[in-house]
Amino acid sequence: MKRCLIIALAALALPLLADDQTPASKPVATINGEVVTAAKLDRMYSNLSPAMRSQYNDTGGKAAFLENYLRKRLLVQEAIKSGFDKRPDIVMDMEAAKEGALFDRYVRDVVTPNVLTDAEVRKFYDDHLTDFATPEKVHVRHIVITGNGSGPHPKSDEEALAKIKEVSELLHRQMAEVKADDPAVAARIRLSYFGEDARKYSEDATAAAGGDLGWVVKGQLDPDFEGAAFKLDKGFPSGIVKTRFGYHLIIVEDKQAAGTEPFESARPTIREYLMAQHAEDVMQTVTRLTNELRAQSKITLYPENIK
C-alpha cells in the first residue's frame, strides 16, 4: 500500500529515571509536570486508526505522534487552567463525545465480530497478497546547500558547491573520530553528528529536524537523490550529490527490504475495509440488539415534557 506523507519532526529529549523502574512505567515526556509514561504512549498509539498509525510508522513513529500529542495537550492544559472545561456547553459536548466513543468501540469490538469473522479477514489477506506488498524503503536524512541565487542564503552555484565541500570535509572528519566498539553506539554517534550539522548548515525546512526526511520509497523524491540514497549503506554519509534543488550530503538511518506486510499488521486495515462492505449487516445487527435490549429494559417516556 502506497504511503506518501512526509513530515518534518522535532527532536524530543527524553527524561531519565532510576534503573529499577519497569520500561512501561518510565516517562517518555513530562508536560508541565504531567507525566506521559511509555505504557500510556503505547496505548494511545495502538488506538490510532490503521491508516493514521501507518502514516506515523513511515514518518517518525511514536516519537512523531508524541510530539503532536504534547502540542495538543498543552492547549488542553490551557483550557483547563482557564476553566473553559467547566462551561455547560463544553461539559455537554465532552459527555456526548465520551458516550459516542464508547458506543463506537462497543459496536466495533463486541458487536461486529458476529458479522465479520477472523476467518473471513484471513481469507481476504490470503486472496489479496499482492495488495500488501511493501516496497523497499529507506529512512533518510540530508544536508542541502542551494545555489543559483535561490534558498534562504542566495549564492551562486560555485559558492554553493564550495560550501557543501566545506561541510562534507567537516562531517567526514567527525565520522572518522567515532571509535565506539559497539556498532549500534557508533551508528547513533554518527547520526547525531549528521543531525547537528544539518541543523547548522542545511538550507531547507528539514534542517530543524536534523535533515530528517523520514521513510521514503522510490518515486517520492528527486531521481538523482534517490539513486544515491538507495545505494548507501546504513549509517555512513554519501559524497556530494547534485540535484535540481542543490548540493546534498545524504545518510541512510535505516533500511527495509521489499516484502509483504504481515497479516497481524494488516488485520486492522482489512477489518476496517471489510466492515465498510458489511455496513448494512452491521446496522441490522445493531438494530436487532437494541430492539432486544429495549424489550428487556424498563423505559418510561414523558412526551408531555418534550417542548
**Which residue from 271, 226, 255, 261 is spatially nearest to 1, judged by alpha carbons?**
261
pLDDT of residue 12: 27
- Residues 204 and 217: beta-carbon distance below 8 Å: no
Reported as a single tens digit per residue, the pLDDT across 181-206 is 888 899 899 999 999 999 999 999 89
pTM of the model: 0.58
pLDDT computed for residue 11 by the predictor: 28
Q: Where are the beta strands (DSSP E) in the chain?
A: 27-31, 34-37, 133-134, 137-145, 212-217, 241-243, 246-256, 259-260
85, three cell numbers = 472545561
Cβ-based neighbours of 196, under 8 Å, separated by 6 or more = 210
Positive or negative torsion for Cα 89, 91, 94, 95: negative
CA distances to 141, 167, 205, 244, 253 from 225, in Å:
11, 18, 17, 10, 15
Grid cell locating 4: 506518501
pLDDT computed for residue 97 by the predictor: 95
The pLDDT score that the predictor gives to residue 20 is 46
**Mind listing the pLDDT tens digit for each residue in 240-253?**
999 999 999 999 99
Domains of the chain: 1-82 (no CATH), 135-259 (3.10.50.40)
> Which residue ranges of the chain lie beneath pLDDT 50?
1-20
